[in-house]
Amino acid sequence: METVHAIKVFDGQTERVISLVHGDLTELGFKDAVDLLVASAFPDDYVPTPTSLIGALQRSGVSVAELARHKAVDLRHTSGFWLSHELADHSAWRGARRLAVFEPRELGSPPEAVGALFRGLFPFLSDREDRRVAMPILSSGDQRWSPLVMMGSLLDASIQWMRRGLPISELMIFEHDQGRMPALVALMEKVGQGGHGLRTPGSSLSTPPPVAQYYDVFLSFSSHNANAADAFKRELAAIDQAATVFDFRHSIQKGKSYQDDIDRAIESCRKVVSILSPAYFASPECQEELNIARLRNKRAGFGLLIPLYWKSVSPSLPLWLQTLNQCVCVEERLDQLSLAARDVHTTL
């Protein structure tokens, strides 16, 4: 294995690395094992062909088809991948602790869906310890997607999430074909020179993205729960008329990038209040806001994010959310929002 090129991504506190590695992923051994190996597959097709990573894993003693029969988590319909149990229980190969298999299905083409992959991964990464992740250039083998197109999408998605604090210390992207290396290195150099909070060897860190207007509270909610959001804002204003609240319905300027405004508002706020409900968890936009807030919450020492339990979520809240202090407003009781607003105000 040889690292051919690397980009360092700065999240405001930590430098994280995206490495282009020439070699075979199955060369990873116990001493250099990664926490997560990401492979790609046709939907429900884990035939170990001679040219695929699934085939290489089979030859190393890992049956992806067998792992697929006993998935730990299946997020193919929402995040485009499924996750295996610990590999140590299934094979003698010790190059990775777990396997994620990318099968985007109805989420769109592989280049379009890699953002959902990174968004979906981080609930399974530690809040307190960065992880190492390895993958080939997904979908560029037997699926025949252009390696340059896929590499561009992988870089764009991983940079966005690592800049937000996605707890990956190093993302290793493997390519075994030496003939592809010059074009892939040129692409990485171009991305690195374009800024994005990156630096390449020999260059200096770029300036962090500008901070948007300062807000006391970033209010994250589904439009289905707009009545709760409005009531919470009224109660907070009754306590402190000077308190500023980011509400996506009123705080985003027309013609500007929606996601940029969301990112910058979360970076500039003092607290994030997430109004949790089944509708909230059904919304990709809400989940993205929650994920971004979770990452900043980690950087802020776990005092930023305040979940407001508005309506029962089945089967239950994610474990990481259950560990946070919550303003509990059971089953849509508007009369409880005054207490919630008071609790939030005391933290400002």
Please list the pLDDT of the chain residue by residue as tens digits (348 residues).
899 999 999 887 788 999 999 999 988 887 888 999 999 999 999 999 998 999 999 998 899 999 999 999 898 988 899 999 988 755 667 889 999 999 998 788 999 899 889 888 877 877 667 789 999 999 999 999 999 999 999 999 999 888 888 889 999 999 999 999 999 999 999 988 764 444 444 333 343 444 456 899 999 999 999 999 999 999 999 999 999 999 988 766 544 445 667 878 888 899 999 999 999 988 888 988 898 888 888 877 788 999 998 988 877 777 778 777 777 777 888 888 999 999 999 998
Contacts of 209 (CB under 8 A, 6+ apart): 197, 260, 263, 264, 267
Whether residue 190 is found in the same domain as residue 220: no
Q: For residue 206, is it within any domain?
A: no
Boundary of a domain, candidates 133, 167, 199: 199
Integer Cα distance of 318 and 306 in angstroms: 14
Q: For residue 204, is it within any domain?
A: no
The pLDDT assigned to 207 comes to 37
The pLDDT assigned to 163 comes to 84
What is the extent of the structural domain holding 88?
2-199
Boundary of a domain, candidates 156, 173, 199: 199
Integer Cα distance of 16 and 2 in angstroms: 18
Q: What is the CATH number of the domain that holds 95?
A: 3.40.220.10
What separation in angstroms does the CA of 293 have from each of 9, 23, 45, 221, 229? Answer: 19, 36, 36, 13, 18
Whether residue 53 is found in the same domain as residue 173: yes
pTM, two decimals, is 0.72
Whether residue 237 is found in the same domain as residue 111: no
Integer Cα distance of 120 and 287 in angstroms: 9
Residue 266's H or E segment, with its range, is: helix 258-268
What is the number of structural domains in the chain? 2
Boundary of a domain, candidates 199, 224, 257: 199
The pLDDT assigned to 210 comes to 46
Instruction: Extract the tokens encoding 79.
Output: 């995040």
